[in-house]
């Protein structure tokens, strides 16, 4: 399965979100022109489709929802649900209505099978408190939110893929849930944050050169 939160193309670090202009904390590829951003997402989702099977959970800004939906369907994914992460408080933005939720695209490859294994008591509204402070990364996801997806769509020992791992929430959630996690992150400063979080769990990172 895959759980990922790619850049949204909304320039979060540049101040489009009024409470998130945090001293230069930015996200790579988050301020691309729309045509370049669409090409970037197309390439990224094509890679996910090529290397990962099972369920896909992709967090995306509502402003880019038509874009990610079109791309994922074009990459051969079956849409099953739009999950809604409802937060305990709104996030200040420059829009007329401030944001209090984030949508998550959920589905699986059209030519494959869903890896969902939870019961019939699941609904599409997920209520988890957002971190009120996240000085190390502007869009940290709650561990409980990631863990819910991991538990619902994988088994102990399974591999979970996150190609935009950021501060490492998927890595941490997978470790505590006894899953393996293959994660990529472009910016060294966020890799350092993820490694520090894993070290607090007693893990010792090793550099692999081959």
Alpha-carbon span 104 to 126, nearest angstrom: 10
Backbone Cα Rg of the chain: 16
* CATH class of the domain whose range is 2-199: alpha beta
Burial class (CB in 10 A: 0-12, 13-18, 19+), 112: middle
pTM of the model: 0.89
- pLDDT tens for the chain, 210 residues long, are 999 999 987 656 555 444 444 445 666 666 678 999 999 999 999 999 999 999 999 999 999 999 999 999 999 999 999 999 999 988 887 889 998 999 999 999 999 999 999 999 999 999 999 886 665 666 689 999 999 999 999 999 999 999 999 999 999 999 999 999 999 999 898 999 999 999 999 999 888 886
Q: Which of 139, 133, 148 is closest to 168 using CA atoms?
A: 139
CB-based contact 202:43 (threshold 8 Å): no
């Amino acid at each position: 399965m895959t759980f990922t939160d790619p850049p949204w193309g909304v320039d979060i670090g540049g101040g489009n979100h009024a409470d998130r202009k945090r001293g230069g904390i930015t996200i790579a590829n988050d301020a691309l022109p729309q045509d370049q951003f669409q090409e970037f997402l197309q390439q990224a989702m094509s890679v996910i489709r090529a290397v990962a099977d099972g369920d896909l959970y992709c967090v995306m800004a509502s402003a880019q929802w038509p874009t990610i939906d079109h791309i994922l369907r074009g990459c051969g994914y079956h849409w099953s649900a739009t999950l809604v992460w409802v937060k305990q408080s709104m996030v200040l933005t420059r829009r007329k209505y401030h944001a209090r939720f984030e949508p998550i695209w959920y589905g699986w490859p059209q030519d494959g099978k869903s890896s969902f294994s939870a019961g019939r008591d699941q609904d599409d509204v997920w209520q988890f408190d957002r971190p009120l402070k996240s000085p190390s990364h502007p869009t940290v996801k709650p561990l409980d939110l990631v863990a819910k997806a991991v538990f619902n769509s994988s088994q102990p020992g399974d591999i979970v893929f996150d190609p935009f791992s950021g501060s490492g929430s998927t890595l941490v959630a997978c470790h505590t849930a006894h899953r393996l996690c293959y994660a990529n992150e472009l910016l060294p400063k966020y890799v350092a944050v993820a490694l520090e979080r894993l070290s607090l769990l007693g893990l010792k990172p090793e550099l692999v050169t081959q």
